[in-house]
Structure 1
Amino acid sequence: MSELTREENIQHIAAIIKDIKFAMLTTVADDSGLRARPMTTQQAEFDGDIWFIGGRDTETVSDIRSRPQVNVSYSDAKNNYVSVSGRGQLIEDRAKLEELWTDFYKAYFPEGIDDPNIQLIKVEADGAEYWESEGRVRTMYKMARSAVTGQPAGHMGTNETVKL
């Protein structure tokens, strides 16, 4: 368990996910099964909350309305991974929508920012787990060495679970 403060944990996670454009948002469906869907992460700095723009008519929004417990997972090309657990909230906030809106969303909402199907989704994080690699080349070297020698690969990076 990390011995950093809440603010330091948030800053560390923010640094890992800063440039990751897409995340998988996992919700609990009507049949109690888990459903993970790709979502575009908003450019807002992670401060303990994660924002998405979704459609009111989607299963994602329906799932959150019924069962707000969610997970957001990230991975990058450097073999870093973050899993954030929290509570999904369906938010009506025109100022926040204007802050997050880009023309990219016209592909999903043809009427633009005034499309009545737009739904802001806020994930209020309560915990996270992250894995930081020592880098792709170093990790691949350790794995190859392990395969050749039959010995364990040893320390492959950092893994922490944090409360937020």
Structure 2
Amino acid sequence: MDQQHEHPSREETIRQMAAVIKNVKFAMLTVMTDDGHLQAHPMTTQQTEFDGDVWFIGGKDTQQVQSMAARPQVNVSYADHDKGAYVSISGAAQLVEDRAKLEELWSDAYKAYFPGGIDDPSVQLVKIEAQGGEYWGSDGKLKNMFQQARAAITGKPATDLGTNETVEF
């Protein structure tokens, strides 16, 4: 029996995305390199409320930041495997010089990458302005495993593997 799913509102989808972003320590930020290849790097998620913008701290001298300066279209992916929740955000990267925002996001843990601390000349604030996003969520691993096993046995597609919603910003 197929279940009819009511799609969440745009605001609810954004809240679901924000919860994943807040709870995942590292994101994968994908840029396009000079030779046209997609390259992903792990980045530390900044503890700010998701409002359509995602913030990172990078190094001005890195290939990743240089790629964003030349080609600002990027993708940021988050995965919370334990909760079966995933987010993908496409957007435009902006290299920002904002001392107040840097102070808000800075942690002494960054000294491992920037020996000069917050005043290190290589520190670069990166703002990703979301243009679109996608959220996937499931009710749990056990339910998904059951749905997949039933599909394998019956030869019929699984009917309820969770939710998948897209949103434009």
Same topology, TM > 0.5? yes
Aligned-partner residue type, residue 29 of structure 1: T
The worse-fitting range, judged by mean Cα deviation, of 150-159 and 37-46 is: 150-159
CA distance in 2, matches of 1:140, 1:107: 41
Partner of 1:48: 52
The percent identity for this pair of structures is: 62
Deviation, structure 1 residue 152? 2.4
Please state if 1:124 is matched with 2:126: no
Partner of 1:153: 158
Q: Deviations over 1:93-133 (max 9, x none)?
A: 11101000011111111111111110000000011011111
TM-score of the pair, normalised by structure 1: 0.92
TM-score of the pair, normalised by structure 2: 0.89
Partner of 2:43: 39
Please state if 1:62 is matched with 2:66: yes
Instruction: Flag structure 1 segments of 5+ consecutive residues without an equivalent.
Output: none
Aligned-partner residue type, residue 33 of structure 1: H
Q: Deviations over 1:21-52 (max 9, x none)?
A: 11010111111111111100100111110000
Partner of 1:17: 21
Partner of 1:28: 32
Number of matched residues?
162
Structure 1 residue runs of 4 or more that deviate by more than 6 Å after TM superposition: none
Please report the RMSD computed on the Cα atoms of aligned residues, expressed in angstroms: 1.6
SS of the counterpart of 1:161? strand
- Decide whether the 8 Å contact of 2:13 with 2:135 is kept in 1: no
Which residue, 89, 96, 109 being the options, matches 2:94? 89
CA distance in 1, matches of 2:129, 2:46: 14
Partner of 2:4: none
CA distance in 1, matches of 2:62, 2:136: 31
Aligned-partner residue type, residue 152 of structure 1: P
Deviation, structure 1 residue 149? 3.8
Partner of 1:109: 114
Instruction: Flag structure 2 segments of 5+ consecutive residues without an equivalent.
Output: 1-6
